[in-house]
Amino acid sequence: MVKLRKIEAIDQAVLDNIGFEWHTDLDGTNYIADELVEVSEQDAEAYYEAVNSIYEMFIEAGDYVIENNLFHELGIPFNLVDVIKESWEADPHWHLYGRFDLAGGIDGKPIKLIEFNADTPTGVFETSVIQWASLKANNLDEEAQFNNVYQTISDNFKRLIMLNDDIENFKEHYQGWKILFSSYRGSLEDEMTTRLLQSMANDAGFTTGFEYLENVEFSEEGIFNSKGEQFEYWFKLYPWENIGFEEPKLATILDGIIRDRKAIILNPPYTLLFQSKGIMKVLYDLFPDSPYLLKTSFEPLQGVPYIEKRVFGREGANTKIVDIDGNTIEETDGEYDNYGKIYQEFVDFPQNEKGELYQAGVFFAYEGCGLAFRKGGKILNNTSKFVGHIIKS
């Protein structure tokens, strides 16, 4: 049973002031829940250890996919295969950050991996800033969290240069390389998330710039902002699968830029391997006895309830829950019908006394660095609520 601590919601004017203007859902209700999930220090440590172990399994699974040419099985667009291989083999292509979605962990049940949002994960603003502010606004100990997202990602920016743990010597090795940050114009959430990451890079010691995606210029010489300034790194809050399937010309240009070492792109192309839910099947094949993995197949499962998902589906779209007898008990539509399917053993999320369900999300940036929750139904979609946490003493 999920134990909750009721809190006063942060005033909306305060949220507006810090740039968090997407605080109200379309139905007029608050997106940020007026409650915190209580977790123990042991729970927090278990989440931390789980994602660190799971990430190591992802590395092995990535090697396996590349060595056995399983890109088609994962739904990877053919025009990104070579650049994925290139980025996988070259050390400077550092994975900046991602978010693991997990079941269990706070109700006496084992932690189970649902999926890994490795390329363009949402929730970084909420996890790193809002839940900290929620504790502060309620006169609670802001340190009573598993939440070091801001500093950990900032440190990971330094590893773009150092490629190891020697981040204290970053200034001695930094040669003025610049990072251009980009998001869509018109999406406030995407823009503020991107600008928050830009702030983390600034704090790390980088020179940075911001440009809306439609104004970024690409050529065989590299990546430029609208003023013609060249950047050695480009962070784009735009999914790699969209580039591959919807922007084939851009995919070709970026392939050349990366091959000719004109720029490094964040997150790197190989994170598409991790983003594809198809890798869940590879993980289960490689590590069938892992306590963190659910049985997953490219064919409907027999003898267990399962959830059917699209390999690149988002926000719970095009998802189906099927019971042990093969009956559909819940289903959503969406725009991802053209993608392949996986079938993953169904597991319940922890619930409170009202029967409301909570999914844990743990950010990863070289290591596990921040916990938060989403509250919603069996299939979490864009109507789910963000719920912070507090480590109970």
At 110 the three-state DSSP class reads: coil
pLDDT digits (tens, 9 = 90+) for 82-133: 999 999 999 999 999 999 999 999 877 899 999 999 999 989 999 999 999 9
Within 10 angstroms of residue 349's Cβ, the number of other Cβ atoms is: 25
Q: Give the pLDDT confidence score for residue 159 in this predicted structure.
A: 96
> Model confidence at 72, in pLDDT bands (50, 70, 90)?
very high
pLDDT digits (tens, 9 = 90+) for 195-218: 999 999 999 999 999 999 999 999
One-letter-per-residue 3-state SS of 124-191 = HHHHHHHHHHHHHHCCCCCCCCCECHHHHHHHHHHHHHHCCCCHHHHHHHCCCCEEEEECCCCCHHHH
For helices 248-259 and 81-89, the axis angle rounded to 10 degrees is 30
The CA-based dihedral angle spanning residues 376, 379, 383, 389, taken in that order and rounded to the nearest 10 degrees: 40
pLDDT digits (tens, 9 = 90+) for 151-192: 999 999 999 999 998 999 999 999 999 999 999 998 889 999
pLDDT digits (tens, 9 = 90+) for 332-346: 999 999 999 999 999
- Check whether 27 has a pLDDT greater than 90: no
Q: What is the mean pLDDT of residues 247-275?
A: 97
pLDDT digits (tens, 9 = 90+) for 220-237: 999 999 999 999 999 999
The H or E element that residue 59 is part of is: helix 41-67
Q: Which residues pair with 99 in a beta bridge?
A: 117, 363
> Model confidence at 368, in pLDDT bands (50, 70, 90)?
very high
- For residues 88 and 76, give the distance between their C-alpha atoms in angstroms, rounded to a whole number: 15
What's the pTM?
0.96
List of domains in the chain = 4-275+351-391 (3.40.50.1760), 295-345 (no CATH)
Q: Tell me the two tokens of residue 75.
A: 């739904």
- Check whether 19 has a pLDDT greater than 90: no
> Model confidence at 248, in pLDDT bands (50, 70, 90)?
very high
The H or E element that residue 113 is part of is: strand 112-117
